[in-house]
Amino acid sequence: MNNLRRERLEYEGAAVAVSVIFHILLFVFLIHYDTGATVPVEQKPFRFKVSKVEMPLLALPPPPEPTQEEKAAALEEARKVGPPAAEKFAAPANVTQAGVTGALPGPMPAPAIPEQLQIGAQPLARPPRPSEPARVSRDLLAMPVEKPNRPVIEAPRTIASNSELAAPTVLTEQMLAAMRAGIGGTGTYTGPITQPLTQIFGPGAKSVEQLMKEAVRPPPPRVTSQAKAAELEPYVNVDVYTWHDPANAAEGFFSVRIASRADSPLRRIPKDVFYVVDVSGSIGRQRVEQFKAGLRTALMQLNPEDRFDIIQFRYDIDFISPILLPASMAASEQVQQYIAKFHAMGTTDFFASTLPLAQLNRERGRLMMGVVLSDGLPTVGVLDALQILHRFAQINGGRSSVFTFAGGRDVDLFLLGFLAYRNQGRLDYVAQPDRIAETFARVQLAHANPLLLDCQFRFAGVNGDDVFPRVPPHFFRDAPLMLYGRYPRGQVKRLALQLRGVNAEGQPMEMTVVRDLPPEDNGTSNIAMDWATQKINHLLAGWIDTGDKAFQDQAVALGAKFRVAVPQLRK
């Protein structure tokens, strides 16, 4: 036992010594190894020498001879399987390998593995099928933009190999046909449901320069139906408030508040909403993130019968769909991913990017709304705010209502405010950038349920020329319609108001109400300030239309008198 233990210790000590010497030599070799002295691989390939290792092998016992029963069973199994097909395993007649030509000796090659079963092979694609009209809108949901203002529509990929690709216009017509069923329900249109944006920004579209040179189209006529108007008064409340300056007892101011009754059965009008989001560099990361959060909430607040589209713009535009999408798609993965990709960069072409709102036809019985989230600071294209406002309103002609929203410190409230004012919308603004999302979502709720479109009014008993706004906005369930006027106190004790609009069925509704002016003021000084604000807006709109600076001078003088800030044009 002592000899065996001693031999084992000697063997282990020798192994340790050899290992230490080997690692020392390896360390010295790595230190003195010169990479520059090595011969490139292509000049002197590495060769590896394997030494012969002899090991004693124990002889295995011979296999036992099979019995007669086992031999018979093996033969029977071979008959069931049958011989292999020799033609599949035959070696090729001539094989060239390393410069040697001729039949190679040795075993026959194994059968080739089918390509689809090889490791790393791609799964077999399904046979192509003809495109289905119902799938077109999904296949064309994301629209790439190759050139500024020129989105390109690609045909669906699931088209039969023996069929030709349809033109984008044909696909668009299929999409429109698929979208009409079950949406709107009025059955009467003022042309197409809405021109696809590809018709505006496609190859045959008119450029901004062409639109600027064209003659101005007159605004569409207001309620022209000769049918008898339905009675509106049972569905609304009309209240009159007055106030006068104690220093001037001869002049009074009044406001008329027209609000929907809580139990009003008037059907809300479906909306077509275009969210136009500024993602240029001046917006910055914080405001873009707030815009994204507010837009996601606003989409969830759409009514089931509403439709929407999303346009993001810088120096060019990009939109999620060439046609309006149903509100049911607001929470879809495609829409959410499209919003998630918003990021601030680049210059701003404000006029060209908002121009689609002015060129789309409005479907009868639906409200077309453009909701613009921007700072209103163009850096390329048309930079003159007066020119932008004037041309947009003339091209629009009252078809689209434009609602603008801004947040933060550096914004052009003049451009954004009058873009909304002159197109039957309103401007909402919040100074704190971190409150943009919540404020935007809240103000969108106020305009979620329109009840009457294209409202018109007339007054008797007071001077209608002193009532503002001259073109009132549409009537919403959650946003009362406010009219402001001035009257001579002591001379007028009663006024009559006639209001007319169009309901969800496209039919006119009308009311004529008579109200006594209260003998004692029941309002506050805000009535006079609101009246002055509305008249200042009216005067500045005249300056925008005519270029006559006298309108601006009158607005400034009126603002000084009533202590109302006059919006300043940014130079």
pLDDT tens series, the chain, 571 aa:
566 677 677 777 778 887 888 888 877 777 655 444 444 444 443 343 333 334 344 444 555 666 777 777 766 655 544 433 333 333 334 433 333 334 333 443 433 434 433 333 343 334 333 333 332 222 222 223 333 333 322 222 232 333 232 333 332 333 333 332 222 222 222 333 345 555 554 444 555 555 555 434 444 444 444 568 899 999 999 999 999 999 999 999 999 999 999 888 899 999 999 999 999 999 999 999 999 999 999 999 999 999 999 999 998 888 898 888 999 999 999 999 999 999 999 999 999 899 888 888 888 889 999 999 999 999 999 999 999 999 998 888 888 999 999 999 899 999 999 999 999 999 999 999 999 999 999 999 999 999 999 999 999 889 989 999 998 999 999 999 999 999 999 898 899 999 999 999 889 999 999 999 988 999 999 999 999 999 999 999 999 988 899 999 999 999 999 999 998 887 6
Q: Residues 504, 443: one domain?
A: no
Q: Residues 245, 371: one domain?
A: no
Residue 188 maps to a domain: no
Residue 192 maps to a domain: no
CATH code, domain with 363:
3.40.50.410
The CA distance from 69 to 455, in Å, is 104
Residue 202 maps to a domain: no
Q: Residues 420, 295: one domain?
A: yes
The four Cα atoms 340, 345, 350, 353 give a dihedral, to 10 degrees, of -50
Q: Residues 404, 466: one domain?
A: no
**Single residue among 448, 466, 491 that ends a domain in this structure:** 448
Give the 3-state secondary structure of residue 558: helix
Residue 156 maps to a domain: no
**Single residue among 392, 426, 448 that ends a domain in this structure:** 448
Q: Work out how many domains the chain is built from and give that number.
A: 2
**Single residue among 391, 417, 448 that ends a domain in this structure:** 448
Residue 379 maps to a domain: yes
205-240 b/e (C-beta count within 10 Å ≥ 16 → b):
beeeeebeeeeeeeeeeebeeeeebeebeebbebeb
Give the 3-state secondary structure of residue 369: strand
Residue 195: CB partners within 8 Å, gap ≥ 6?
359, 360, 361
Q: Phi and psi of 106, rounded to 5°?
A: 115, -175
Residue 149 maps to a domain: no
Q: Residues 333, 416: one domain?
A: yes
Q: Phi and psi of 51, rounded to 5°?
A: -75, 150
**Domain extent at residue 335:** 271-448
DSSP-derived pairing of the beta strands 367-373 and 401-407: parallel
Q: Residues 386, 283: one domain?
A: yes
Please give the angle made by the CA atoms of 218, 224 and 226, to the nearest 5 degrees. 160
Residue 187 maps to a domain: no
Q: Residues 412, 536: one domain?
A: no
